[in-house]
Amino acid sequence: EMYLAAEELRFEYAAKLRDEIKELRRELQAFAQATG
């Protein structure tokens, strides 16, 4: 039971992290294009 909850939490955390990285990458690309 406890193990399952921890596993779920880690999965949620990883998904959030992935979204943040995707967002950062998009901002970086926009910045790179803006600076030419």
The answer to whether position 34 is within a domain reads no
Tens digits of residue pLDDT in 1-36: 788 999 999 999 999 999 999 999 999 999 999 998
Identify whether 17 is part of a domain. yes
CB burial of 9-18 (b: ≥16 within 10 Å; e: otherwise) equals eeeeeeeeee
Domain assignment of residue 36, yes or no: no
The length of the chain, given as a count of residues: 36
What backbone phi and psi angles, to 5 degrees, belong to 17? -60, -45
In whole angstroms, what is the distance from residue 32 CA to residue 23 CA?
14
Q: What residue numbers bound the domain in which 6 lies?
A: 1-29
Q: Is residue 9 part of a domain?
A: yes
pLDDT at position 21: 99
pLDDT at 2: 81
Cβ neighbours around 32 below 10 Å, total: 9
- pLDDT value, residue 36: 80
The verdict on residue 25 lying in a domain is: yes
**Residue 3: what pLDDT?**
86
Q: Give how many domains the chain has, as a whole number.
A: 1
**Within a domain: 5:** yes
In a domain, 14, yes or no: yes
